[in-house]
Structure 1
Amino acid sequence: MKSSAKILFIAVAALIPSVAATAQTQINPKVGVNFSGVEAKLQDITAETRVGWNAGVDLRMGDKALYLQPGLHYYNFTARLVEGVEHPDDIAFSDETTIQALKAPLNIGLRLTGDNGLIGIQARGGVTPTYILGVDEKNGIDFNKEDLNSFTWGANVGVGVNFLFLTADLNYEIGLDDFFANAEGGNNVLSLSVGIKF
């Protein structure tokens, strides 16, 4: 990881607990599912990321129409590994593994309907640095953390709905860097999360 990118990642992660106690900050823990869209040919293995789960927390900083929303989230991607075939549909041998990542999105949000009524709607957009934590390695398949770029950037947009203290968020992240170390293609991720705010 480049040192400047690492410093920024740590700064965003450190921002969350340091501002959580401020009077104009809402805390929004959430859990959800994600769907990834990247495929790569790595020597004689085809790797495809698929469905996963995620958990984390966002902060809504500010009580105006525009607000700052940093967050910190753990993502677990499922990756399908197909070995020894030209086309993944002609399966000779396949297995699944998991990829663990830490995301620290930094978004600007817009309250479209206010935030203190029965229902609130928000839109947001920003950037998402992602750090790969690890890969669940499988016996007999040469695929590990070294096959992935450890640090990548994404651009994301999303919409959220509040019902009283409950929240639901739909987010789409476009990978700006190659997800795999030796293959082209960013990891585009659609995620749906539910949580509470207080």
Structure 2
Amino acid sequence: MKTMKQSAKLLLALLAVILFSLPSMAQVRVNPKVGVNFSGVNAQLQDITADARVGWNAGIDLRVGDGFLFFNPGAHYYSYTARLIKNVEKPDDVKFQDETTIQNIKLPVNLGIRLTGDNGLLGLHVKGGVVPTMVTGVKEKQDFAFNKDDLNTFTLGANVGAGIDFLIFTLDANYEIGLNDFFKDAEGRNNMLTVSMGLKF
């Protein structure tokens, strides 16, 4: 746990240093955005089945560089729904079902390729990289023994995506492949599709 916290703090510190130093390095475009996300992870935790589903997200990306390639770091808040089902062991047992929310901070570090120019009416780009994720909270439910301690605080994913710009408006689709287990005591990697809309300055 201590190692994961130290890694998360180091990543946050590195991102802060990069963000503060970028304006002196190259042309920087700021891209605030909001969107929806769809998770594809489920796991068996003792007598509970946890199934992550749809959620929402908001954050900011940067596009650094005005050439064919650009550096594309970001910071995003993610909240998504997890369906909890208490397994039935006997025919006369009551089957409980409820939903909770899981909150994360994601710090994507991508390298992008401009397929068209960045200053015209229409722009297309693709990108790929890694996504460190830190779980910040879980909304606990009375009938379920499921909380933040059941999740790995720090996980890593591989990210691919594509986007389109129209004037100052942006539309992006990203797919993240989980590289390690989302839950501490159960197998299950969080593969996630995110669709976001935003502005480009």
TM-score of Structure 1 vs Structure 2, range by shorter chain: over 0.9
Kindly provide the amino acid, as one letter, of the partner of residue 55 in structure 2. G
Identical counterparts, % of pairs:
61
For the structure 1 residues 83 and 20, does the alpha-carbon distance in structure 2 shift closer, same or farther, using more than 3 Å as the test?
farther
Q: Deviations over 1:74-102 (max 9, x none)?
A: 0001000000238xxxx921000000000
Counterpart-to-counterpart distance in 1, 2:80 and 2:88: 23
> TM-score, normalization: structure 2?
0.91
Q: Deviations over 1:153-176 (max 9, x none)?
A: 000000000000000000000000
1:112 paired residue number? 115
1:145 paired residue number? 148
SS in 1 for 2:30: strand
1:170 corresponds to 2:173: yes
After the TM superposition, list the runs of 4 or more consecutive aligned residues in structure 1 that deviate by more than 6 angstroms.
Answer: none
> Unaligned regions of 5+ residues in structure 1, if any?
none
Kindly provide the amino acid, as one letter, of the partner of residue 61 in structure 2. D
Counterpart-to-counterpart distance in 2, 1:49 and 1:21: 41
1:19 corresponds to 2:22: yes
1:6 corresponds to 2:17: no
> TM-score, normalization: structure 1?
0.93
Aligned-residue CA RMSD (Å): 1.7
1:50 corresponds to 2:42: no
For the structure 1 residues 157 and 51, does the alpha-carbon distance in structure 2 shift closer, same or farther, using more than 3 Å as the test?
same
Counterpart-to-counterpart distance in 2, 1:79 and 1:180: 12
Match of 1:28 among 27, 31, 41: 31
Count of aligned pairs: 194
> Is this contact kept in 1: 2:43–2:188, CA < 8 A?
yes
2:185 paired residue number? 182
> Is this contact kept in 1: 2:124–2:163, CA < 8 A?
yes
Kindly provide the amino acid, as one letter, of the partner of residue 105 in structure 1. P
Kindly provide the amino acid, as one letter, of the partner of residue 159 in structure 1. A
Counterpart-to-counterpart distance in 2, 1:135 and 1:18: 34
Kindly provide the amino acid, as one letter, of the partner of residue 95 in structure 1. D
Counterpart-to-counterpart distance in 2, 1:139 and 1:20: 48
Kindly provide the amino acid, as one letter, of the partner of residue 149 in structure 1. N
1:101 corresponds to 2:90: no
1:135 corresponds to 2:149: no
> Unaligned regions of 5+ residues in structure 2, if any?
none
> Is this contact kept in 2: 1:13–1:104, CA < 8 A?
no
> Is this contact kept in 2: 1:20–1:26, CA < 8 A?
no
Q: Deviations over 1:100-156 (max 9, x none)?
A: 000000000000011111100000000000000000001121000000000000000
